[in-house]
Structure 1
Amino acid sequence: MLRLRCKTKNGSHIMQGLTHQSCVQELKSKVEELTGIPCDVQKIMVGYPPSSLDLQNGDAHLKDYPIKSGDTLIVEEEKNKPKPPQDHPTVTKAPRLEASPTLARRVVPADNSCLFTSVNYVVEGGVYDLACAPDMRGLIAQIVSSDPAAYSEAVLGKTNEEYCTWIRRDDTWGGAIEVSIMSKFYQCEICVVDTQTVRVDRFGEDAGYHKRVLLIYDGIHYDPLQKETPGSDAPPHTIFSTTDDVILAQALELADDARRKRQFTDVNRFALRCMVCQTGLVGQKEAREHAKETGHTNFGEV
């Protein structure tokens, strides 16, 4: 949802009810409703210094313009254009009902390897391969073991050798360390959008990569994000440009919607059970302490 401020010489108004999927004509009609300036003589500018938007195509979508939530739109009346007759209503075209590509979550199994399945899916351009996890775990172990200075116990939380054995197991979960390693290996920025905090963590942000892929994270589970057209047989789009900030804004909107629906797990409060000794635990802290005391690292969510 876009929240824009419409500013004229006579004051400003908060403009709501628009999204990036709204068309130009909807925007112009909303501006006319708030300011009284007819659609045909509106000059709409955005940015600093303000630059005029070319809004001739009323059917174009707002996602194709440099407009994001929170922006201030400066609206003026163009004096060199004749106003439409006041005794005849302005006839506008209804927006087309063609489906537009949208960013969506592609759900993968919660089988302890969701991170590896999700990363493989997006970097391979939408190839769904549940058998990829062992190879990806092995790849990470190989990279870590080849550079014990960079991947020391201080970084890994366990010795280099212990980590390499641990990450190869199919009952261990990947996290930030593994995302960072895969970002370097695949030479792409991996953006992880958190549904609890509505925050995006960008791995490889300053490395100069040209490609970007997106994951969504709910506290314990990762899913890939893809751009798809509803009702279309076109393949999903999972690789984006690192200059595409619109896709990041859409990912954050998706995460915020999940947060409002409480589609996240509070890792400090969710119930766990040690699958080795069946001890009941609450949250990551108790799980870490139990693992330290017993050496048990296989946990299941209750």
Structure 2
Amino acid sequence: MLRLRCKAKNGTHMMQGLTLQSCVEELKSKVEELTGIPCDVQKIMVGFPPSSLDLRSGDSLQDYPIKSGDTLIVEEEKNKPRPQAKAAVPRAGAPPAKPHLEPGPTLARRVVPADNSCLFTSVFYAIEGGVYDPACAPEMRGLIAQIVASDPASYSEAVLGKSNEEYCAWIRRDDTWGGAIEVSILSKFYRCEICVVDTQTVRVDRFGEDAGYRKRVLLIYDGIHYDPLQREAPGSHAPPQTIFPAADDIILAQALELADEARRKRQFTDVNRFALRCMVCQTGLVGQAEAREHAKETGHTNFGEV
């Protein structure tokens, strides 16, 4: 009986059941069984310093300088392609093999820049069917300002938190953030339900839910930042899907699963506790409430997260 230790990348293994009369194919098969390295790409070395064995098919092990207790060093030949796995031949009477199923399309986040305009970039990307255009933000800000200015009764100071005129000037600036008011306006303008999935609370806010819109887009929100959601097929070159039927509740469930996974990974910002700095006077602030109060007292509205 010839017992060899096989030292490979995944550890040291004992090889039993081989004799000096065993052939090379048996050795290679045993090495593959222990190491997972296919026979065709094995490089087997012995001795010190290790020298590679030129193993020929049909030879017996006694034709090589190998003795009981030797350590064989096995590596994979990186310059040789791994052989393709052969389809298994079913045994007589065995049940038919299950067909190999490719992974189906999945819902995923499409990350956009955190540049104060992530909401506008995300909505545009989703509404336009996966078109990323960072230059869209000024146009969308201007669109919102025009809609608000044209309807001062609906968009009063009580709704906006500032006068209609002040709001229109404020939303046009590239250092201000959009939120629920802007999502609601864009939902009406595009006649599309916009669903915002919150990763902190794992809830979905549906804007335009009762308006009878037939299409829906999805955003994910972490307390600070918005990203669009899209359905994509792994390995496919087809464009992602960003517009869904408004009656598709399965896509909402998938979005909530994505938000819950982000929550478990702590991928959210607690807006009541996160640290901010006023970029105008450099005052340190904690949470959204302090930032809002500081803005009322000073008129400063440019904040950065610390």
Quick check: TM above 0.5?
yes
- C-alpha separation in 2, matches of 1:147 and 1:266: 34
Question: In the alignment, which residue of structure 2 is the partner of 1:121?
Answer: 125
**What 5-or-longer segments of structure 1 have no aligned partner?**
1-87
Q: State the one-letter code of the partner of 2:184.
A: S
Q: Are residue 282 (structure 1) and residue 286 (structure 2) matched?
A: yes
- C-alpha separation in 2, matches of 1:194 and 1:204: 17
Alpha-carbon offset, residue 231 of structure 1: 1.2
1:204-219 counterparts in 2 under 5 A? 204-219=208-223
Question: In the alignment, which residue of structure 1 is the partner of 2:249?
Answer: 245
Cα distance change of structure 1 residues 96 and 291 upon mapping to structure 2, 3 Å threshold: same
1:192-231 counterparts in 2 under 5 A? 192-231=196-235
Cα distance change of structure 1 residues 98 and 171 upon mapping to structure 2, 3 Å threshold: same
Give deviations 1:24-76, integer Å, cap 9, x for gaps.
xxxxxxxxxxxxxxxxxxxxxxxxxxxxxxxxxxxxxxxxxxxxxxxxxxxxx
Alpha-carbon offset, residue 94 of structure 1: 3.2
Q: Are residue 297 (structure 1) and residue 301 (structure 2) matched?
A: yes
Partner of 2:300, secondary structure, is: coil
Question: In the alignment, which residue of structure 2 is the partner of 1:138?
Answer: 142
Alpha-carbon offset, residue 292 of structure 1: 1.0
**Post-superposition, which runs of at least 4 consecutive aligned residues in structure 1 deviate over 3 A?**
88-95
Give deviations 1:137-190, integer Å, cap 9, x for gaps.
000000000000000000000000000000000000000000000000000000
- C-alpha separation in 1, matches of 2:160 and 2:257: 33
- C-alpha separation in 2, matches of 1:275 and 1:282: 14
Question: In the alignment, which residue of structure 2 is the partner of 1:162?
Answer: 166
Alpha-carbon offset, residue 96 of structure 1: 2.2
Compare CA radii of gyration and give the structure with the larger one: 2
Specify which of 261, 265, 270 is matched with residue 265 of structure 2.
261
Partner of 1:191, secondary structure, is: strand
Count of aligned positions: 215
Specify which of 102, 105, 110 is matched with residue 109 of structure 2.
105
Question: In the alignment, which residue of structure 2 is the partner of 1:176?
Answer: 180
- C-alpha separation in 2, matches of 1:296 and 1:123: 32
- C-alpha separation in 2, matches of 1:284 and 1:157: 14
Q: State the one-letter code of the partner of 1:136.
A: M
Question: In the alignment, which residue of structure 1 is the partner of 2:157?
Answer: 153
Question: In the alignment, which residue of structure 2 is the partner of 1:235?
Answer: 239
Cα distance change of structure 1 residues 215 and 89 upon mapping to structure 2, 3 Å threshold: farther
Alpha-carbon offset, residue 93 of structure 1: 3.7
- C-alpha separation in 2, matches of 1:267 and 1:156: 20
Alpha-carbon offset, residue 95 of structure 1: 5.3
- C-alpha separation in 2, matches of 1:270 and 1:259: 16
Alpha-carbon offset, residue 230 of structure 1: 1.2
Alpha-carbon offset, residue 89 of structure 1: 9.8
- C-alpha separation in 2, matches of 1:279 and 1:212: 40
Q: State the one-letter code of the partner of 2:129.
A: G
Alpha-carbon offset, residue 289 of structure 1: 1.1
- C-alpha separation in 2, matches of 1:226 and 1:160: 35
Partner of 2:261, secondary structure, is: helix
Q: State the one-letter code of the partner of 1:131.
A: A
Cα distance change of structure 1 residues 92 and 289 upon mapping to structure 2, 3 Å threshold: farther
Partner of 1:164, secondary structure, is: helix
Question: In the alignment, which residue of structure 1 is the partner of 2:64?
Answer: none
Cα distance change of structure 1 residues 156 and 92 upon mapping to structure 2, 3 Å threshold: farther
